[in-house]
Each structure stands twice: as structure tokens, then as C-alpha cells.
Structure 1
Amino acid sequence: MILDIRNLSKTYSNGVQALKDVSLTISQGMFGLLGPNGAGKSSLMRTIATLQEADSGSVTLGTIDVLKQKEEVRKVLGYLPQEFGLYPKIDAITLLDHLAVLKGIGNAKQRKELVETLLHKTNLWGARNKNLGGYSGGMKQRFGIAQALLANPKLIIVDEPTAGLDPAERNRFLNLLSELGENTIVILSTHIVDDVKELCTDMAIINKGEVLYKGNPLDAIADVNGKVWKKRITKSELEAHKQNHQVISERLISGKPEIRVFSTTQPDSSFEAVEADLEDVYFTHIFSTQKEAVAV
């Protein structure tokens, strides 16, 4: 099954253009959607999930017209938004069973088997009788995936799923997503580059409602490899370097800035070549759009 997005646009009533002629083709597997906060990722996800209308464009999932056949989409969709509510005084097995009823799974035996399978799959079986209010952040996210899988979805959308998770919980959650991506279209919307690097075979970078890049993460890294340079500088030198070079990122190392610069040739002998990574790809594309906005 293929998710095909063509020329999708959305402007809110306050005048903010959240999506600008977005076109993407997404196949089965893990697809990473990278972008800073406010880039338009959530607007795109909400539109695909039938939670808001688009102004123009089309979205198809196989033979389903996503923008017109909303009920058909919801039958095959699993959605985990960035923030979702849980009943804190209800245990996991009771709430998951209730949600299964709402999904139309009326057979009690079938429902029991499904709920137990999902709790095992998400590693929550041991906490099945614990009230959800006592769950950690990672456990709540895994419960969110369990409820998203109730309908045996063909498309799963997860929006910023690892924000705020500790490293152990993040690894558990990413491993679960990776398993799901073997047989389903999974869209991982995030601003965390490492999540995409570790999981996705295809990706897009979006900013200010526009798609800046679409392709394989390894190919994206290869495109900028040999064009990224680093240099340790003083804080007082930072602004001058930003004026004279395409500084794509900066970080403090032992209290002293280290900058990474994108350039097709070595800026000068004080710069050292570095092996590019996906973060360099991300910042290079984001910097380009910011530079264009300033020029305009």
C-alpha cells in the first residue's frame, strides 16, 4: 500500500500557512518526517489522520481518498498524537478492552485475545492491572501504540513520540516502532534527528510548511559528505564567523564554541574536515530556508 500526498496546502484562520504545496510518496516501512517545532509536521499529520481539512491538494492511501473517505481511513489508521489523554484511575487492560469495543470488536473472546496480545507486544503485560496514572512517560507512549494497533492498521502515524523519554524508554519505544514498520506504513514525525537516523529508510525534511528534502538518509548524508568543516572559536568570534560562513550548527565544548560550517571547499586552513552525519544534513537544509527568508 502507498500513501500518496499531492500538492497539499493548508492556511489557518489567523493567516499562518502551515502547508505549502506538499507532495510526498510514502511506501511500507518507517518514514521519518523531520523538522523544527512549527514546521508544519503536526498539520500534515492531522490532515492525513482526518482531524482537519486541507484547503487544496489530494491524499490517497491505496484506493482510499483520504480527504473524502474519512471513515474508511479511520478503519485502517493507527494514530498516536504528540499529546493524548488517558484515564488515570483505570488500569491498562480495562481501558484497552473498552477502546476495542469502541473500535467495533464485539466478540468478547476475540477482544480478550487481541488486548492480551497487544499488552505483551508493547511489554505492558506485567503492568496490565496498574492504573494508567502510575505509568512512566515511556509506558504511556507504549500504551498509546497498543491502542493505535487495535484496528490492525495499514497506516500508523506517531507525532513526536520520544520527546521527554529517558534513554532506556526511548530505546524500547523505537524498537517497537521498528518492528511495526516491517509490515505497515509508519510515519515518524519528529524534530529528533537520531530517531530518524536509527530507524528510517526513507525521510523528508519539512520547514515552514514546505518539503526541503525527500530521500534515503544515507544518500542525504553522502550528498553533504566532504562539505562539512569544524572549528573551535571564542565566543567573541562567533558572530563574525556567522557573517562570513554558512554556519549550520554550533555547540559548546568545555565552555568554548565549536562551529560546523557547510562549504564545498575548505573555508581556510583553520577549519578541519569532519565526516558528515544526518544532523548536518538537517541543519544545512534548515539554514538554507532561513537564509532565503532573510534575503527576501
Structure 2
Amino acid sequence: MELEIEHLTKSYGAKTALNGISLRIGEGIHGLLGPNGAGKTTLMRLLATLLEPSSGTAAIGGVPLRDKAQIRRMVGYLPQEFAVYPGMSVLEAMDYLALLSGMRNRAERRRRIDALLEQVNLTEQRRTKVKALSGGMKRRLGVAQAMVHEPQLLIVDEPTAGLDPEERIRFRQLLNRFSEGRIVLLSTHVVEDVESTCEQMTVLHRGELRYHGRTGELTAAAAGRIWTAEMERGQWERERERFPVLSAVPEGAGMRIRILADEQPYAGAQPAVPTIEDAYLYLMRKEAGVR
């Protein structure tokens, strides 16, 4: 199973939301990162056949996007704003959405729904009206409905928004299991989700492809540019604008800071091992021409 994208472009009048993207994505979990307006949602909606491309092509397992009926049987999609019929119970909503996904066998639907509700920890809420669910529960319901017909490509947009740390861990484990033999495209602002689950990742910026490859290779690009230092609060207030600060944590009477710099920024500053978040911020500043 492979997702192939060739020169995919989407324009709205004079504005180009996605500009000639070409990439190939194989089985497993693939991270999709980029600031607001980068083109991530446009790309996901194109792959889910909710938008028509202005030019270019894409195919999932050899099936082109223009074959909408077949593609929709192959794709599961959780948008950032997931809404479902509030007057239905969780079980009713899942059954209805499974029918819309083409699952005609009632016994098979029930088996699949029961298993998914267990996996997303919603079994006890199966009779609860959707409108009575918390934000995190609704997000988990969205994840379950996207998976119900066992799609070959699962697209999830900000799936851990509103989930507590324990739920995020549970969700990442669920994605790992589901991705065997399938493609999962994970778009998120929670860089920890990418670092914890994605071997490969893509970064978009202003509608263009800025990085596509192994997660570890992006991290390696920031090596030698991440520093940690301790300083008194007074010094911190005076010098905080000199270098890009990635984090600043109070520590006793002073501050421990994490800095992006090509060379040692302060006497006593120590080199640090970069994280994915460090590498992503380095890439974004590089793209913006900021040093």
C-alpha cells in the first residue's frame, strides 16, 4: 500500500493553498507538520475527496482520487472539527456512520463497533447521547468512526486535541496497532505525538513542501544548534531577546533556558541533544530567513 502524490496543487482564485506537492508515503504512521495556513488541511481534504485539485494527481494503492466512490471506501477521515448527530447515542451514531461507510452486514458492524468502543474507552458511554459527551469523549468517538470500516488510509487532524496525557498515550498505542499494513497520516501541533509515533514525517510551509523524510534526519539537522544555560533572573530579563529561546523554566532563584544558536550563545551554555520540536522550530526559522 502506497500513497503517491504528483504535483498536487489547489488554488482559490489568486491564492494558492497547496503548490505542486509531490511525495510518496508507505505503510505506517506518517507525521504532517506545519504552521497555520501551511496547507495541511487542504492536503487532507483533497485526499479525502472533499476538495477537487486544481492540478496534479494522487493515488491510494494505485486508485486515483478521481475514482471517488472507491477512494471513500479506502479512506477514513477525522477532521479537526468533528460533528455528529447530537440526539443519537454513541452506539446509534457509530452504527449509522458505519452504514454510510458501506458496512451492510449488521453483525459485522456490531462486532467492529464493540471492539472500537473498547479500544477508545467509550464502552460505558455506548448508550449516552452524543450531546452529553465531554470534549475528549467526542474526540475519541471521532477516532472510532474514522476507523470503523478499517480503511487503508486513515487521515487524522489534531486527533489528541482535548485528550488528557493518559488518553494521548492510549491513542498513540491504538494508532500503532491500526497502522500495520495501512497508512496513517497524522496532522498535529502536538510535536510529541510525532516524536512518539512517526518514523517518517512531512513539513509544509505556505503551501509548499519543506521537508519529507525520516524523523531522525530532521532532528539531526538541528544538532550543534541547541544549547541549555542557567542564568539569574535579572540577566535573563536583560538578555532574553538576544537569541531565539525555545523554553525557559524557573529553577530556584534563576532560570534554565533552551536556546537555538549556531554558536555558543553564553559562557557556560552547554550543547543539548535536539528534540523533534527543536528541529521543527529550527526549520521554520530557516525557512523564514531568521537566524
* TM-score computed with the length of structure 1 as normaliser: 0.88
Q: Partners in 2 of 1:257 and 1:20 — Cα distance?
A: 41
Number of the residue aligned with 2:10: 10
Amino acid at match of 2:33: L
* Distance 1:183-1:78 versus aligned 2 partners, 3 A rule: same
Q: In the TM superposition, what whole-angstrom CA distance separates every residue of 1:156-182 from its partner, at most 9, and x where no partner exists?
A: 000011123222222222221222112
How far residue 29 of structure 1 moved from its aligned partner, in angstroms, is: 0.5
Number of the residue aligned with 1:285: 283
5+ residue gaps, structure 2: none
Residues 114-153 of structure 1: pairs in structure 2 closer than 5 A: 114-153=112-151
Question: 244, 249, 258: which one pairs with 1:253?
Answer: 249
Contact 1:138 1:173 in 2 (8 A): no
Residues 71-82 of structure 1: pairs in structure 2 closer than 5 A: 71-82=69-80
Q: Partners in 2 of 1:107 and 1:259 — Cα distance?
A: 55
Q: Partners in 1 of 2:184 and 2:257 — Cα distance?
A: 36
Q: In the TM superposition, what whole-angstrom CA distance separates every residue of 1:245-279 from its partner, at most 9, and x where no partner exists?
A: xx3x433322858351231x435645321111111
Number of the residue aligned with 1:48: 47
Residues 104-115 of structure 1: pairs in structure 2 closer than 5 A: 104-115=102-113
Amino acid at match of 1:202: Q
* Distance 1:230-1:130 versus aligned 2 partners, 3 A rule: same
Number of the residue aligned with 2:32: 33
Amino acid at match of 2:248: L
Amino acid at match of 1:272: Q
Amino acid at match of 1:18: A
Amino acid at match of 2:133: Y
* Distance 1:127-1:212 versus aligned 2 partners, 3 A rule: same
Q: Partners in 2 of 1:125 and 1:97 — Cα distance?
A: 14
Q: In the TM superposition, what whole-angstrom CA distance separates every residue of 1:188-236 from its partner, at most 9, and x where no partner exists?
A: 0012110100011111121111221112212322232233223455233
Number of the residue aligned with 1:237: 239
Number of the residue aligned with 2:186: 188
Q: Partners in 2 of 1:43 and 1:193 — Cα distance?
A: 20
Number of the residue aligned with 2:198: 200
Q: In the TM superposition, what whole-angstrom CA distance separates every residue of 1:53-102 from its partner, at most 9, and x where no partner exists?
A: 22222111121111x11111101110000011122232111111122222
Report how many residues are paired. 284
Larger displacement relative to structure 2 (24-33 or 161-170): 161-170
Amino acid at match of 2:61: G
Q: Partners in 1 of 2:181 and 2:131 — Cα distance?
A: 32
Q: Partners in 2 of 1:198 and 1:217 — Cα distance?
A: 10
* Distance 1:110-1:259 versus aligned 2 partners, 3 A rule: closer
Contact 2:246 2:278 in 1 (8 A): no
Contact 1:34 1:192 in 2 (8 A): no
Contact 2:94 2:113 in 1 (8 A): yes
Contact 1:37 1:191 in 2 (8 A): no
Contact 1:7 1:21 in 2 (8 A): yes
1:74 match: secondary structure: helix
Contact 1:204 1:215 in 2 (8 A): yes
Number of the residue aligned with 2:261: 262
5+ residue gaps, structure 1: none
1:291 match: secondary structure: coil
2:289 match: secondary structure: helix
* Distance 1:257-1:266 versus aligned 2 partners, 3 A rule: closer
* Distance 1:268-1:127 versus aligned 2 partners, 3 A rule: closer
Q: Partners in 2 of 1:121 and 1:28 — Cα distance?
A: 21
Contact 1:10 1:17 in 2 (8 A): yes
Contact 1:250 1:257 in 2 (8 A): no
How far residue 150 of structure 1 moved from its aligned partner, in angstroms, is: 2.5
1:96 match: secondary structure: helix
Question: 166, 169, 172: which one pairs with 1:171?
Answer: 169
Matched, 1:219 2:214: no
Contact 2:75 2:151 in 1 (8 A): yes
* TM-score computed with the length of structure 2 as normaliser: 0.89
Q: Partners in 1 of 2:132 and 2:171 — Cα distance?
A: 18
Q: Partners in 2 of 1:92 and 1:290 — Cα distance?
A: 45
* Distance 1:257-1:37 versus aligned 2 partners, 3 A rule: farther
